[in-house]
Amino acid sequence: MTIDHCVDSLDHCVDKFADRVGADPLLRVQIISDVRFFREGLAELLARETHLFISGTFAELDEALRELGGEPAPVVLLDEAFPGGLAAVGRIRMTAPHVLVVAIAVTETVEEIVAWAEAGVAGYIPKTAALAEIAPSLVDIASGRQMCADNVVAGLLRRLSIVGATRGGMQDAAPPMLTTRERQIAQLVVTGMSNKDIARRLNIGVATAKTHVHHLLGKLNLERRSQAASWLRDHGRF
């Protein structure tokens, strides 16, 4: 091989390396968890993937939200156990509608999946997933695919049929009259607060908060608080 050929080959290698460095990674991922070893462990694991780029790890939601504005359509990987996780999804989507929120370590039951879906996640990774499955799952979700257990798929179909029938029956109905306390409860239910969170916010007992939520569901003719939150968001009436 002549010197000229060597120089040409070297230039070609440098150009390819520059192209690779300058190329945007396939997925930019932010991780939110208040458990340090969990978020740092996830970051270390996913950073090994050449098609992923970890753009930040956060223990506080407010800090993560400040960083979201400048990110090019990032994926936010949210720890299922993050305090106020369901409400956090709504805040993320409100701050950055382009963001895909993925809940990780989720218990794969119909109730849990419906709650996260209604909160606004793009997908989830169950707590039974192997470490090697996390990165491929993120790619699948970003591409519009989600693997679900058979029982979850069946449960989701049943739940959708119930919700569809309920909404159809209530579409033209007059909005129910709510008491002042029920309007307060409704506002907190929409944010995804649990009975315990509601009780703490309103300085009432957990049993009392549960009773108020039960009465609210009764007036809306619904069975679950997630359905109530969805209906209240759609109608915008408390």
Residue pLDDT, tens place only, 8-28: 444 444 344 344 434 445 789
CA distance 101 to 90: 10
Question: Would you say the C-alpha torsion 189, 194, 199, 205 has a positive or negative sign?
Answer: positive
Residue-range definition of the domain harbouring residue 59 = 8-152
Q: Provide the CB-side half-sphere exposure for 2 (13 A, CA).
A: 3
- Is the pLDDT assigned to residue 235 strictly greater than 80? no
Quick one: 110 and 14 in the same domain?
Answer: yes
The most distant pair of C-alpha atoms in the chain lies apart, rounded to whole Å, by 88
CA distance 29 to 77: 7
Q: What is the band of 138 on the pLDDT scale with cuts at 50, 70, 90?
A: very high
Number of domains in the chain: 2
CA distance 112 to 118: 10
* CATH code of the domain covering residue 198: 1.10.10.10
Quick one: 121 and 199 in the same domain?
Answer: no
φ, ψ at 125 (rounded to 5°): -120, 120
Instruction: Give the position of tokens 């579409």.
Output: 171
74 or 31, which is more confident?
A: 31
Quick one: which H or E segment has residue 103?
Answer: strand 100-106
Quick one: 54 and 125 in the same domain?
Answer: yes
CB neighbourhood size of 117 (10 A): 20
Global confidence as pTM = 0.60
Quick one: 132 and 95 in the same domain?
Answer: yes
pLDDT of residue 100: 92
**Cβ-based burial of 211 (10 A; exposed 0-12, middle 13-18, buried ≥19):** middle
φ, ψ at 105 (rounded to 5°): 70, 40
Q: What is the band of 5 on the pLDDT scale with cuts at 50, 70, 90?
A: very low
Q: Two tokens at 2?
A: 């002549």
Quick one: 28 and 99 in the same domain?
Answer: yes
Quick one: 28 and 131 in the same domain?
Answer: yes
Quick one: 148 and 186 in the same domain?
Answer: no
Question: Would you say the C-alpha torsion 38, 53, 134, 120 has a positive or negative sign?
Answer: positive
